[in-house]
Every structure is written in C-alpha cells, then in structure tokens.
Amino acid sequence: MAVLHCSACDLAWQWPPARDAEESRRFFQASYAEGQEGTYFDKSVKREIASLELEFLDAVRPAKGTLLDVGSGDGTLAELAFKDGWSVEIAGET
C-alpha cells in the first residue's frame, strides 16, 4: 500500500484503498454513531469545522446560493448552512 501524490494539484490518496466500499460504509456509519469525544466524529468538533467552512464560504461568496454537500456525513454542514440562509442539496448517504 502506498500514498500517491499529484504534484500538479497537491492531492494525495492511498492506493490501493485500505477498505472496500462496504467496509468504508460500515466504518463511517459506526464512527458517526459513536461520535468519540475529541475526534473528527465528535458532534461538537464537526460543528466547529462546519462553522469554519461556512465562514470561508461567506468570505468568498457573500451572496447565499445553493450548496451541494457531497458525502454529507452526519449532515452537520448542511444543517448549519441551511440555518445560515443557504439552499442545500445533499448527495450521498447521511
């Protein structure tokens, strides 16, 4: 297993993937359900991250529009964006 890196866009990814699609679905479903304190899956941490993302959006796009949240996880960003005046579309499981 290796981490591949694109020097043109600076994207990095693991190849081959450590989990198949079903294993990933189970992992993330369990992780969001557990919401282990202090981790990315902690609801308060997710809210802090989503708030920062919305601050960035407000800085680069002051007029509210439609936000497409792809792979929305537990829906925290979509929820906060909607409350902030965005029209929100969700793609993927929540």
Per-residue pLDDT band at 94 (split at 50, 70, 90):
very low
The pLDDT score that the predictor gives to residue 71 is 82
1-50 pLDDT, tens per residue? 688 888 888 888 888 888 888 998 898 888 888 888 888 889 999 999 99
65-82 pLDDT, tens per residue? 999 998 888 899 999 999
Contact in structure between 2 and 14 (CB atoms under 8 Å):
yes
The pLDDT score that the predictor gives to residue 73 is 84
The pLDDT score that the predictor gives to residue 93 is 58
Q: How far apart are CA 89 and CA 82, in angstroms?
A: 10
Q: For the chain, how many residues are written? A: 94
60-69 pLDDT, tens per residue? 988 999 999 9
Helix, strand and coil percent figures for the chain, each rounded to 5: 45, 20, 40
